[in-house]
Amino acid sequence: MNFLSGEYECKLDPKGRLVLPAKIKANLPEESGNQVVLTRGFEPCLVLYPQAAWKVIYDKVASLNEFNEEYRNFQRNFFRGNTEVELDSAGRFILPRTMVRYAEIEKEVIVVGLGNRVEIWNPDKYEDFLIKDQQGFSSLAQKFLGDQPLIEPGI
């Protein structure tokens, strides 16, 4: 399994296209080809999923009971504006204007690989959502990872 990782400073070209960093593009699963899914993040950013990762999430959300009002409302907002995009041979794709407005993206962006997905941020907004307090970050690491071995037995 390929992991999408790293933090990259990028710029949109004059046509509003973003070039995925080479290391991100190289780690997209082969079965996804040049097809990825772009969606709005829960924070003011965009999220790019390889097709296989998106299918797992899509199946979970689509399987919610459509006769439940709360589920319908969630589905409506979750799937709103999601779009399949195709990377060209240079790894470029156009960011739709509605998504650019949502994430308040201008010319510069931060691209962050997060394992199964990539976030695309306005650099100023990204800074607002980072943990500034290293002790607080350390406490979260202890909370989420402290009771788990970092290396699987036998590896």
**Each residue of 55-74: pLDDT tens digit?**
999 999 999 999 999 999 99
| Ordered per-residue pLDDT tens for the chain, 155 residues | 578 999 999 999 999 999 999 999 988 887 777 899 999 999 999 999 999 999 999 999 999 999 999 999 999 999 998 999 999 988 899 999 999 999 999 999 999 999 999 999 999 999 999 999 999 889 998 988 887 666 666 65
Amino acid 145: pLDDT = 87
One CATH from 3.40.1550.20, 3.40.50.10310, 3.30.460.10, 3.40.190.10 for 4-146:
3.40.1550.20
Domain boundaries, the chain: 4-146
Report the b/e string of 89-119 with b at 16+ CB within 10 A.
Answer: eebbbbbeeebbebbebeeebbbbbeebbbb
Amino acid 1: pLDDT = 53
User: For the whole model, what pTM was predicted?
Assistant: 0.88
At CA 83, angle to CA 11 and CA 38, rounded to 5? 45
